[in-house]
Structure 1
Amino acid sequence: STSGIGYLRFHGRNGKCWWEHEKAYQRYDYMYSQDELQEWIPRIKEINNNTKKSFIYFNNHYKAKAAKSALMFLDLLKSSNIATSQN
């Protein structure tokens, strides 16, 4: 990062409906698994080491999957001793 701010956005991985879908929400109809999110922990540590502040955003909003994914990721961050702040 050159700005001092890290930003990571999780859209969901619904590849089946990403380009071809009837309804816009189908793109974001995806629930991350704990294993998928765990894969990001080393990258988050790297981002945090190179920025003053980092933001993580979940956009897989269909059926509150963004909130569920964010809470799961928050638990992973805390268990990995990564400082968090919920604003």
Structure 2
Amino acid sequence: MWKGKPVIGGNVGGIRLQIEDEVSGFLVDSPEQAGERIAQLLGDPDMYAYIGRNAKDRVRDNFLLPRLLYDYMQAAHQAGTIA
């Protein structure tokens, strides 16, 4: 996702937290669905680019160290442990 590529992942566990279905990638329930989504992305370059951009933005906004540090600092501030 960080490389700006759309992803296809199984609709299970923590993968659901990482991929926003049909926005930053696709969640699928079977190998057949994965194949259909691959074909869809390969057949639609605009969709491929759109979902790829969204995937990169999702990683940047939710999973990189600066974001995690920001969340930590906000929680510490609210708890009154820092000014």
- Please indicate, yes or no, whether the TM-score normalized by the shorter chain is above 0.5: no
- Which structure dedicates a bigger proportion of its chain to helix? 2
Return the index of the structure with the highest Cα Rg.
2
